[in-house]
Structure 1
């Protein structure tokens, strides 16, 4: 076999390896963007538990079934049903890039998971990558929930944390201004990006849509102020509460097609 033939075969094999790696990376990014991973949950014990086949359980089941159709249109539902002491309040908020039919499927996932993790609890909250679900026997409309809150962040750090932190805060400040401005379509959600030399910074902010835009701004300003505490110099991070959240990464993490 000639050396020319061997070289061609080696070149072909190397090309196939490169293509395989590229496909692997593309699939992983796509998979990451399309999943709705479980993030966290909190069961409230103060309100105690309801009994099987009780009026509370009946009201909860009614709400879950009734609100399903609304999630397709708005990506957000806040509703209540029943009379005291069996009134149930429920909120579902999908991420701003995940409205439509996706949001309906998220409701099914979230209700199933909340019941599994907080069985028979009258109050609880569960967070997924693309939605949150909250139930309670007491009204929480238009109120900031910062008691239910957690941090997530990358283990990798950037080379210049001080500069990176400042630019991340600047991006979130800009996104908050846009998300909370008065408009006919107040989604309380905004995404954006910023050039950082050879890389880009991607970010998003969002509030649950039961909040007034001024209250949303207060909520976001508060958690953005926690950036140094939660994510100092980290390549990616987020603060998630029961009423608002932010996330940033150095790679795209939002869906481009709804």
Structure 2
């Protein structure tokens, strides 16, 4: 799967890291950013560094939450640290916590003294910052990935994909403060199937979740047009579709969308 990333601001040497696809155990690292808003660095043994270690420990050691969304803060300004962990909506609790633990180790290693950082694995996302990140829709930085294989009938494939993503977006946005997630599949031309998944951090409002997902879906023509798989990942929401099922069943009720009738 090919990959490309971007930031709202210009690229900064030594701050923006290359995105790579690697395997680490059963988890796949998709990408990460350090100091993407250029908020600066901290001293490892200083107050911010200690607060960061505390908040990440509190977040990843929490065994009470079983719905895959974790948020925590620790310390006082200007050294207060805010963190969010989000697991894919179909991932079981133990697998979720394992992914967040991997993320914690990876992120602090790859971004050793930056006050703000984010990392995406297949099964989870982890981010932290010195500014408030709860209840705020943020779409930058973002990551695009796509399957190299092409759909057999691009026009009809895109029609079915658009309908599927619309249905899933509506369902996910109507979720509650524990989970805003939807997955399902649709029949595409030539006996193809399209499997889709969309998710927001559930601290977003219904409208912000919908706006974030609509924005992510609108990126498909520029990154993944006619491809049999693709994904768009942001801090607040993510979407993915493939020609094979990549999420666990049962996730939510299957979304239905059908190929338009062929012209005679």
- Provide the TM-score with structure 2 as the length reference: 0.80
Moved over 6 A (4+): none
Query: Where do 1:6-17 residues align within 5 Å?
Result: none
Q: Which residue of 32, 57, 62 corresponds with 1:65?
A: 57
Q: Which residue of 189, 199, 202 corresponds with 2:192?
A: 199
- In the alignment, structure 1 residue 158 sits paired with structure 2 residue 151: yes
- Residue by residue over 1:59-85, the C-alpha shift from the partner in whole angstroms, topping out at 9 and shown as x without a partner, is 111112222215752311111110111
Deviation at 1:131, TM superposition (A): 0.5
Q: In terms of Rg, which structure is larger?
A: 1
| Conserved? CA contact 1:169–1:227, under 8 Å | no
- In the alignment, structure 1 residue 101 sits paired with structure 2 residue 87: no
CA distance in 1, matches of 2:201, 2:104: 17
Query: Where do 1:202-221 residues align within 5 Å?
Result: 202-221=195-214
Deviation at 1:242, TM superposition (A): 0.8
- Residue by residue over 1:116-150, the C-alpha shift from the partner in whole angstroms, topping out at 9 and shown as x without a partner, is 21111110100100111101000021111111101
More helix, by proportion? 1
Q: Which residue of 126, 146, 169 corresponds with 1:133?
A: 126
Q: Which residue of 247, 252, 257 corresponds with 1:254?
A: 247
Gaps of 5+ in 2: 1-22, 252-264
Give secondary structure in 1 for the equivalent of 2:138: coil
CA distance in 2, matches of 1:52, 1:227: 40
CA distance in 2, matches of 1:257, 1:191: 9
- Provide the TM-score with structure 1 as the length reference: 0.82
The change in CA–CA distance for 1:186 and 1:174 in structure 2 (over 3 A counts) is farther
Match of 2:257 in 1: none
Q: Which residue of 224, 237, 247 corresponds with 1:244?
A: 237
The change in CA–CA distance for 1:109 and 1:126 in structure 2 (over 3 A counts) is same
Give secondary structure in 1 for the equivalent of 2:108: helix
Gaps of 5+ in 1: 1-31
CA distance in 2, matches of 1:104, 1:204: 20
Supply the RMSD in Å over aligned alpha carbons.
2.0
Residues matched between the structures, number: 225
CA distance in 1, matches of 2:64, 2:28: 19
Deviation at 1:255, TM superposition (A): 2.4
Deviation at 1:172, TM superposition (A): 0.5
Range that drifts further, 89-98 or 197-206: 197-206
| Conserved? CA contact 1:240–1:246, under 8 Å | yes
- In the alignment, structure 1 residue 56 sits paired with structure 2 residue 67: no
